[in-house]
Structure 1
Amino acid sequence: MADHTFRELETAAYCPRKLYYRRRDGPPDVPDDVESIRSLAFDYERLLTDDAALLAAPIETAPATVRERLRAARDRLDCWADIVDPSARAVYLSGKDASGVAHKLLDTDEGPRPSLAFAGKPPEQGVWEPQTVRLVAAAKALSWERERAVDRAYAEYPAHGVVREIAVNARRTGVYRRALRTAASVDGPAARVDSDAKCAPCEYRENCGVRTRSLRSLL
């Protein structure tokens, strides 16, 4: 049985102290607005052709930009047909080290690949490190179940019209292994650290004990 969930490993990469509190309190329910954004990942073709649907969608950038990005992804990705019509949805994967849900399972010509839909804003390039950990965890679990290599995964940011393919390479696997070690070592609150941008959206900001000094006070 896997020791960790995909979400735990993502949280370990983001903030070990947050992982401690989530284990103590239990994982939070997925907010309705997050579910609404994730649902857009199954509606790309309609967003590309239906102006009313695009304008009514919970997107977080200009409608024209979302459509332009989706068109670019359609032209760029060989597996676009699998992205818009995956072989399975909300698939539970159980690997050697971690288990969790892949929002899409793509059975492409090159082999099976997981895809995860994220509600937030993507970085300028690539994928945020905690999300990389979650993607690699899904790929490793799928590889364990299928008993074959899974060398690609997809990160979708549907509120921004962004779909990115990532290679499950040695560097990303190293980040994943580090998150595994961190998750295994968390048995109490991690050491207090000075606040940074990661603290602002955290639900434990008010009571976790992390110092939240301003830049002015630091100077």
Structure 2
Amino acid sequence: MSANPQVGSFTVRNASFAYAQICYVLHWCAFIYAMGFLIDFVAPTGVDSGLPASLGYSITIDVSLALLFVVVHWIMAQQRFKDAWFRLIPAALERSTYVLVSSVLLISIFLMWAPIPMVVWDVQQQGARVLIFSIYWLGWLLAIGATFPINHWDLFGVRQAYLLLENLPQTEAETADSLLYRYIPHPIFVGYVVVFWSTPHMSVGHALLSAIMTALVIVVVWGGH
């Protein structure tokens, strides 16, 4: 008789729930880091902080990091990948693992990003700067707030792991009717795009990251993932 615990055992179900919670906490670490990284505020590194390297090196590093994030997202959204992945982990942990990989890739971008300081625009007027920063934070509020009507806990994999913990069937998550989704198409992604581009000081490096991430949003929305 094998000593390895089965997927449905109490030990594995508890470990799975703990894993989902760790992935969820890591997601918030990446999100909070992103809030400071994009405007060079408080975070250990920023999109324009650090010593700039040669233009060719910086572009190579930055494009590679951003494209790795994009390509991994595309691969993990493919059904053939999901079918193979389910042979290795319980289906209830798919979303948590997606959250984990996304968070690790985001943090890698933040830690390894090479600044390209050439200026695209630089707003100096104080009132305009306050307005732009207000739009920036409203973008984050929209992106995060819009996760709750479609079941925040399901979106980040916690609900699925809880159902596994309680040995309950994996059911479709309940969603709430929301004015956000009634009047704003894809409000989570709209919030992200607002965040990427709302800055009073736009460097070439910041614009490069924003352009690649905006392209990813367009592909995701167009592909229905």
* TM-score, reference length from structure 1: 0.23
Q: Using CA pairs below 8 Å that are at least 6 residues apart, which structure has the higher relative contact order?
A: 2
Higher strand share goes to which structure? 1
Higher helix share goes to which structure? 2
* TM-score, reference length from structure 2: 0.22
